[in-house]
Structure 1
Amino acid sequence: MSVQIDLSSDVAVVTGGGSGIGEGIAMLLAEAGAKVAIADLSADAAKSVAEQITGKGGTAIGVELNIADEESVRQGLASVREQLGPVSVLVNNAATWTIKKFADTTAEETQRVIDVTLIGTINMMRGALPDLLETQGRIVNIASDSARTGEHSMSVYAAAKAGVIAVTKSLALEVGRKGVRANAVAPGTTVTPGSSAFIEQVGGADKLARAYPLGRLGSPDDIAGAVLFLASPLSAWITGQVLSVSGGYTMV
């Protein structure tokens, strides 16, 4: 028996899709047939990923979008609707962080992490919800295992991701009977350009990988596979859940 995931009837938005985990998610959703909007602060990065997808025969657009700004979210989602149609898969991946001990983290740095990582996710869900109700869509929010275990020198980021988990579960309760599902993927340490500073700060990839039962750190493809599952009909009876994709580091 063969199983094939077909998202050819879906329009997916991936925030932070211009690099790292977001790029991996966008590429895999497109491979499954989805029409993908790559939303990113960097128009060039978003365009580059979209061109990679279209070069392979897929359908994709790049959208310059600041998730922390409600008007930017409104305009960006309007552009997606105009070019691709109503959103049926929303992947909130974009985030930011500061690697500092709690006592050294400034109020401005704290606000920036909260505004992007938590409020930005809320802005996107609020903006896309009319479409998702129309399409009986799926939300997959990228959380973090730091929200479950804590994280040295990233306390505000961990708190923001805990908020992402809470709002995911709460929205799942509100919209489940309307056909919309909301879940979260909580990655462990994943090797991307954005995580390189943290990995080096804790002693490098080889040292860090020894803490993982599967003996390695994650890749964007590892996270993308979990997102694809939660965006697909294979997870039709799953909502309000948090899936750790962490090589066994977090067993909750």
Structure 2
Amino acid sequence: MELNLQGRVALVTGSGSGIGRDTVFKLAEEGCKIVVSDINAGSAHETAEDLRKAGHEAIAVACDVTSEDEVAHLVAQAQQQLGGIDILVNNAGIVKDGYLTKMTEQSWDSVVDIILKGAFLCSRAVLPQMMEKKWGRVINISSRSLFGNPGQTNYSAGKAGLVGFTRALAQEQGRFGVTVNAVAPGFIMTPGMRNLPHFPKLQEAATAKVPVGFLGEPRDISNAVAFLASDVARYISGTTLFVTGGRYSG
């Protein structure tokens, strides 16, 4: 399938590691120029360097997506060095689990702000140039957790909010040639997940709940993102693509 992404500029937040890192490599393989962004400057620059070594065009910009000034700097660097942004993937997120009665205000604010405020600030910053070009893609990384997980009221609320954000923004932007969609991953075996000391037990328990009988890998998410970013998906907007192996709640 020809995705026709050659020459597009893609910005992926939180792309220094995990799903974000895999996503920038997939988009680069499809012909995109890449803006690697992460709050961890070291991992952002390392990922960009690995992309360049593989023959792709990439820059790295460290950014806290909850800071309006840092987001403005990020978008300005992309404009200056690569000519603007065609594809935005709002992937940045963190987990600070805990039951609500024991959750601190800081744990609530940090998780929800990175997911929702980050998507708001980054989208608001890049949309004017997409609207001017009459072409753009905004892809928000939600989660199966939007249905609710115990111990994750903050994360579940943020990821569920991202779906509402996606639907509303899709209605605002359609007439400008900009599609807005979300991808909701299930259990994905990222390097960080594999390094957990209790990963074998976690893997066994999670696999038992997945109808297809195996757990996802980062490429399953990056493939979905590349599809939604392409002209092949030009008539898809305001939707959430669940990449969960058939598992929804529970």
Contact persistence 2:39–2:62 (CA under 8 A): yes
1:84-233 to 2 correspondences below 5 Å: 84-135=82-133, 136-147=135-146, 149-195=147-193, 200=198, 203-233=201-231
Moved more, 33-42 or 198-207: 198-207
Deviations for 1:135-168, whole angstroms, at most 9, x for unmatched residues?
3100010001111x21121111000111111111
Deviations for 1:179-201, whole angstroms, at most 9, x for unmatched residues?
11000000001122444688948
Extract unaligned runs of 5+ from structure 2: none
CA-based RMSD: 1.8
- Once residues 234 and 106 of structure 1 are traced to their aligned partners in structure 2, the CA distance between those partners, rounded to angstroms, is 44
- Once residues 90 and 142 of structure 2 are traced to their aligned partners in structure 1, the CA distance between those partners, rounded to angstroms, is 9
**Which of 60, 65, 68 is equivalent to 2:66?**
68
The residue number in structure 2 matching 1:59 is 57
Identity of matched residues, %: 38
- Once residues 199 and 163 of structure 1 are traced to their aligned partners in structure 2, the CA distance between those partners, rounded to angstroms, is 31
The residue number in structure 2 matching 1:83 is 81
Return the letter of the residue paired with 1:119. Answer: K
1:19-38 to 2 correspondences below 5 Å: 19-38=17-36
Contact persistence 1:91–1:141 (CA under 8 A): yes
The residue number in structure 2 matching 1:248 is 246
Pairs aligned (count) = 248
- Summarize the Cα distance change of 1:12–1:199 in structure 2 as closer, same or farther, 3 Å threshold: farther
Extract unaligned runs of 5+ from structure 1: none
How far the C-alpha of 1:250 sits from its partner, in A, is 2.0
- Summarize the Cα distance change of 1:197–1:103 in structure 2 as closer, same or farther, 3 Å threshold: farther
Contact persistence 2:193–2:199 (CA under 8 A): no
Contact persistence 2:18–2:191 (CA under 8 A): yes
TM-score, normalization by structure 1: 0.94
- Once residues 199 and 63 of structure 2 are traced to their aligned partners in structure 1, the CA distance between those partners, rounded to angstroms, is 30
Contact persistence 1:199–1:205 (CA under 8 A): no
